[in-house]
């Protein structure tokens, strides 16, 4: 079953010895407005043709604005054989509210 991680859980994992890859699947204009530092941008539309660029040996936490698109992508990645995938519940908006208020909300 796909795991939904709360923002504070993702922050804890990012601070660990084996941090996950944050995969930001929002549109380019959204990333220009706000992003979690260190995240990798790969727009949702490009996932089907570029998912093989993602690591198999690292947890992937998928991020979007509110958590809906990222959940779809995380579910799809899991069907493609990525076994360690999670969704950032509430997306970047929840991250900005609960973890890092310096990240702009839009």
Distance CA 31, CA 5 (A): 21
Q: Do 88 and 59 contact (CB within 8 A), yes or no?
A: no
- Which is the catalytic residue, given 22, 35, 60, 64? 64
CA dihedral 93, 98, 102, 104 (to 10 degrees): 10
Residue 32 known to be catalytic: no
Q: Which residues are catalytic?
A: 64
């Amino acid at each position: 079953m796909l795991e939904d991680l709360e923002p504070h859980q993702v922050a804890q994992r990012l601070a660990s010895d084996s941090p996950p890859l944050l995969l930001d699947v929002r549109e380019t204009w959204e990333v220009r407005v706000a992003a979690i530092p260190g995240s990798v941008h790969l727009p949702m539309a490009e996932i089907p043709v570029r998912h093989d660029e993602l690591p198999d040996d690292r947890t992937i936490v998928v991020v979007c604005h509110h958590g809906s698109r990222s959940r779809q992508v995380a579910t799809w990645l899991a069907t493609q054989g990525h076994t360690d995938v999670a969704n950032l519940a509430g997306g970047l908006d929840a991250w900005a509210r609960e973890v890092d208020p310096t990240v702009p909300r839009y």
